[in-house]
């Protein structure tokens, strides 16, 4: 069977391409659809269907643009109520893609419209199951992301539905089926996802905690809800965009691709109150940046951290990127619904410095310098990694303020004494540093290389605890 996983690491997202006899289908596409169109054209195939497993929370799907550009029909599972034309399939309905068949299996639980798609090859053999956020490798979808859509839903009710869907709809299927999930490790849509992005149903039954044969519904609900972190604030906004519709990516790009001189950039920033978003690497940002700008580097989990740190997807944004990287930044912002980029600094940060504009910097120290200070001065150390990372292993005496909670915990950063911040490698701590600078903090330093390199010094570290035991 010709089924191809198209994986995007920065979002830990998997779309799927199915092709047979000149017909193709795309499952859960990302916002930029040209790669899917190009893929089909390389097979001399026409995209017939865009299958959606559910209304996604962590990204804006490309289904509307695919329909507009190719004429493909959008398919949702039972109970979905999109605000645009789409085919709402019945449980058990079968679609043909060339010689292949795609069978709809309604599996509510992650959301009420959640649907999996059984892939059947040209000989009638069941090949695999595209599971969306119903079943991951090592995990299942969290049941706390759909309550704002249906008022009387609770996460307990959804977890109960998910238990029934797994036991009654998925676990009875052929053990040889290949599981094709929508996400892998790093996604906020689950808590224990594997780095593997496909597996067999047989192996998942043997290893996935949520598929234990002897687990009662009450045990499942309790275990599933334990350890869930607060979902990013952009999640419900992305859900509503996926339900109601959105501007085409072409429109978003046309609005955003406006090169600005330093003077025009400064005027627009002052007139609009736009967020200044600097997407350069942490080391370059630290050496100099436009005052009041926030650093979220493209070479990291960019879209996820934008979603964590910028609460409103409608926020106007002005970009500072490396030259030639502005289109990538605009595209990756749009993947998570941030469609209001209004321009970028032409030729990047050099344009700002060449215009003799004011700049700010972030002071950084090496892990060795921290070791010397730790032995003599006992500095206040603030670790901005996730709580699970901190609980697993941390500098003795450090306090934990996770980056995604920084705006609610600014009071924990003193202004009357110096302090040190760090994360695992320097990416997240520079985001924190830029926010602190923006809010008026100056007397702090960031540790270049972060905890990964601090562990190689003489700084005292807590005894290691396996992160999986902390959930």
Q: State how far the Cα of 264 lies from the Cα of 266, in Å rounded to an integer.
A: 5
Cβ pair 104, 90 in contact under 8 A: yes
* The predicted structure's pLDDT at residue 231: 87
Q: In the predicted model, is pLDDT for residue 468 greater than 70?
A: no
pLDDT score, position 280: 98
Name the CA radius of gyration of the chain, rounded: 24
Lowest mean pLDDT among 148-157, 252-261, 399-408, 451-460: 148-157
pLDDT band at 150 (very low <50, low <70, confident <90, very high): low
Q: What element of type H or E holds 305?
A: helix 302-309
Instruction: Name which of 429, 306, 319 is nearest 364 in CA terms.
Output: 429
Burial of 10 (0-12, 13-18, 19+ CB in 10 A): middle
- CA dist., res. 352 & res. 130, Å (int): 48
Checking if the pLDDT of 64 tops 90, the result is yes
Cα gap 384→465, rounded to integer Å? 18
The pLDDT value recorded for residue 148 is 54
List domains and CATH numbers for the chain. 3-237 (3.60.15.10), 247-354 (3.40.250.10), 364-470 (3.40.250.10)
pTM > 0.95: yes or no: no
Q: Residue 396's pLDDT band (boundaries 50, 70, 90)?
A: very high
- pLDDT, mean of residues 33-37: 97
Distances (CA, A) of 317 to 5, 256, 293, 434: 32, 9, 10, 16
Mean pLDDT (the chain, rounded): 95
Q: Torsions phi, psi of 38, nearest 5?
A: -65, -40
Per-residue pLDDT, averaged over 18-44, amounts to 98
Q: Give pLDDT, residue 147.
A: 56
Q: What is the mean pLDDT of residues 164-178?
A: 98
Residue 244 has pLDDT above 90, yes or no: yes
Residue 469 has pLDDT above 60, yes or no: no
- Percent of residues in the chain assigned helix, strand, coil, to nearest 5: 35, 20, 45
- Tens digits of per-residue pLDDT, 421-455? 999 999 999 999 999 999 999 999 999 999 999 99
Taking the C-alpha atoms of residue 377 and residue 394, their distance in angstroms, rounded to an integer, is 18
Which H or E element spans position 444?
strand 444-447
pLDDT in tens, 250-293: 999 999 999 999 999 999 999 999 999 999 999 999 999 999 99
pLDDT range class, residue 145, cuts 50, 70, 90: confident
Query: What average pLDDT does this structure show over 415-421?
Result: 96
pLDDT, mean of residues 163-167: 98
Cβ-contact 39, 14 below 8 angstroms: no
Of the pLDDT bands very low, low, confident and very high (cuts 50, 70, 90), residue 227 is confident
Calculate helix-pair angle for 34-42, 63-70, nearest 10 degrees.
Answer: 50
Percent of the chain whose pLDDT exceeds 90: 91
Distance of CA 254 to the CA centre of its chain: 24
286 vs 292: CA distance, rounded Å: 13
Question: In the chain, pLDDT over 70 holds for what percent of residues?
Answer: 98
Report the pLDDT value the prediction gives residue 188, as an integer from 0 to 100.
Answer: 84
């Amino acid at each position: 069977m010709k089924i191809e996983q198209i994986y995007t690491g920065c979002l830990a997202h998997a779309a799927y391409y199915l092709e047979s006899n000149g017909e193709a289908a795309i499952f859960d596409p990302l916002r930029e659809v040209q790669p899917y169109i190009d893929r089909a054209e390389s097979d001399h195939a026409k995209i017939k269907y865009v299958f959606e497993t559910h209304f996604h929370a962590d990204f804006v799907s490309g289904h509307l643009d695919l329909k507009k550009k190719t004429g493909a029909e959008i398919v949702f599972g039972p109970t979905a109520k999109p605000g645009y034309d789409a085919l709402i399939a019945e449980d058990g309905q079968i679609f043909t893609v060339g010689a292949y068949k795609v069978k709809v299996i309604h599996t509510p639980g992650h959301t009420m419209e959640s649907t999996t798609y059984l892939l059947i090859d040209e000989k009638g053999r069941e090949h695999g199951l595209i599971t969306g956020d119903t079943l991951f490798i090592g995990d299942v979808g969290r049941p706390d992301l759909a309550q704002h859509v249906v008022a009387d839903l609770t996460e307990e009710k959804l977890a109960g539905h998910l238990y029934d869907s797994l036991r009654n709809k998925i676990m009875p299927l052929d053990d040889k089926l290949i599981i094709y999930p929508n996400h892998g490790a790093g996604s906020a849509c689950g808590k224990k996802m594997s780095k593997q992005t496909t597996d067999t149903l047989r192996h998942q039954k043997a290893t996935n905690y949520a598929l234990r044969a002897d687990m009662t519904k009450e045990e499942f609900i309790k275990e599933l809800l334990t350890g869930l972190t607060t979902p990013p604030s952009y999640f419900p906004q992305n859900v509503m965009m996926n339900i109601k519709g959105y501007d085409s990516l072409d429109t978003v790009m046309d609005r955003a691709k406006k090169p600005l001189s330093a003077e025009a950039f400064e005027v627009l920033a002052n007139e609009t109150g736009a967020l200044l978003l600097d997407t350069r690497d942490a080391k370059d940002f630290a050496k100099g940046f436009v005052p009041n700008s926030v650093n979220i580097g493209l070479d990291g989990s960019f879209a996820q951290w934008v979603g964590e740190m910028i609460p409103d997807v409608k926020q106007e944004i002005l970009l500072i990127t490396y030259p030639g990287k502005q289109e990538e930044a605009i595209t990756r912002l749009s993947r998570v619904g941030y469609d209001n980029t209004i321009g970028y600094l032409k030729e990047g940060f050099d344009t700002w410095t060449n215009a003799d504009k004011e700049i700010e910097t972030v002071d950084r120290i090496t892990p060795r310098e921290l070791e010397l200070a730790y032995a003599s001065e006992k500095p206040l150390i603030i670790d901005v990694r996730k709580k699970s990372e901190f609980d697993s292993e941390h500098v003795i005496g450090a306090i934990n303020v996770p980056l995604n909670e920084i705006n609610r915990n600014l009071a924990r950063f003193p202004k009357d004494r110096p302090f040190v911040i760090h994360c695992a490698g320097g990416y997240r701590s520079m985001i924190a540093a830029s926010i602190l600078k923006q809010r008026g903090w100056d007397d702090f330093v960031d540790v270049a290389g972060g905890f990964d390199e601090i562990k190689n010094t003489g700084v005292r570290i807590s005894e290691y605890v396996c992160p999986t035991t902390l959930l």
